[in-house]
A = this chain, B = another copy of it.
Amino acid sequence: MTANGEIAFSLEEADAFARKVLVACGLAADHAAAVAQTMVSGERDGCTSHGLYRLLVAANSVARGVVVPDAVPEVSEPAKALVKVDGKGGFAQLPFELGMPLLVEKARAYGIAAMALNNVVHFAALWPEVEALAEQGLVALAFTPSHAWVAPEGGTKPVFGTNPIAFGWPRPDRAPFVFDFATSAVARGEIELHRRAGKAIPPDWGYDADGRPSTDAKAVLDGAMRTFGSHKGSALAAMVELLAGPLIGDMTSAESLAADEGRGGSPIGGELIVVIDPAGFLGDSLDEYLKRAETMFETIEGQGARLPGSRRLLARARSQVEGVRIPAQLHADILEILERGN
């Protein structure tokens, strides 16, 4: 334990620790490896809410029967440039890993391709997926619904999930340009943190169950969150529902929440990933145009503005040297899972 009550891990130790815990929860070894990698990536990149803390969330989903811990995903090709992975109710990470090589192959063969992950349980951010694809030199977009917690602009009743959009762009000789954000005004976890701390939330984050704007975190959790960016954010939230729900034969956020039956598990449903090979349009001009994109990034950073994802990459560089640290209390809570086997 460090002086300020934190537990330190190297990234390798964190990965081994997370795997051990997940296997103790009942996850099959391949699922545990894929899920651990995502959680350690989050911790490494300073996204603590998507880091090792999620071991508790994953354990809860297993304990409540929300996730199939040893699901065997099935990869298929519904059309020439489409990949479908039926996750069979397991976590999303392994299905993504299993489908990704075929997705990359198809994007390179056809110029563009898409992959649907169906029937998967989602607890993580989308950036690890688009980043992995951008690291292969591809441009990637990802979308997923969640649970119906967010009201459309002009209404006050939940319809949408927090419905994130992620985007990855390959950069020569450096980490890809990656963003990933919820189309809700804030993350649901942010409201949860205010509730725990007994703190008021800003009046434009959501509505109570009677449809009145509220500064009471619990009232908004029980009512409806708002989207970011007014009617534009609301339109994007609807798009995410459609693209990663009905379009791929999977659930909307409302259907997913209903399927949870009050167990409070992570959302189950689908994810859509669209991949474009820049070499498709660019051919021999690939390098020239990737350089033009770099010029745009320089114009942004040159005026002191931050690129999306830059804070994550800074945290990553630090973690790769110093490892990661988690609060002693969180460590103790995780050890408890290890002891009781769930």
Contact = CB atoms under 8 A, between A and B. Distances in A.
Interface of A: 78-82, 84, 109-114, 116, 139, 151-157, 159, 165, 167, 169, 177, 179, 181, 183, 228-236, 238-239, 241-243, 245-249, 252, 254-255, 274, 276-278, 280-283, 285, 289-290, 292-293, 295-296, 299-300, 303-308
A163 to B, nearest CB: 12
Contact of A249 (B242, B285, B300): B285
Nearest to A181: B232
Contact of A304 (B155, B169, B283, B299): B155
15 contacts: A79-B110, A80-B81, A80-B109, A81-B112, A82-B112, A84-B281, A112-B114, A139-B242, A155-B303, A155-B305, A167-B239, A231-B308, A246-B278, A247-B278, A249-B281
A114 B296 contact: no
Contacts of A232: 181, 183, 228-229, 233
Interface of A is mostly: mixed
Given A247-B139, A282-B249, A111 B276 contact: no
Contacts of A296: 159, 238, 241-242, 245-246, 252, 254
Return the 5 tightest CB-CB contacts between A and B, nearest first.
A229-B229, A79-B111, A155-B305, A154-B305, A82-B111
B300 A159 contact: yes
Given A114-B276, A242-B139, A235 B308 contact: yes
Given A159-B300, A167-B239, A274-B274, 8 more contacts: A80-B109, A82-B281, A155-B303, A155-B304, A245-B293, A246-B293, A249-B289, A252-B292
Nearest to A298: B159
A207 to B, nearest CB: 11
Contacts of A152: 300, 303, 305
A52 to B, nearest CB: 26
Contacts of A289: 246-247, 249
Nearest to A81: B110
A78 to B, nearest CB: 6
Nearest to A289: B246
A219 B231 CA distance: 27
B303 A157 contact: yes
Contacts of A233: 229, 232
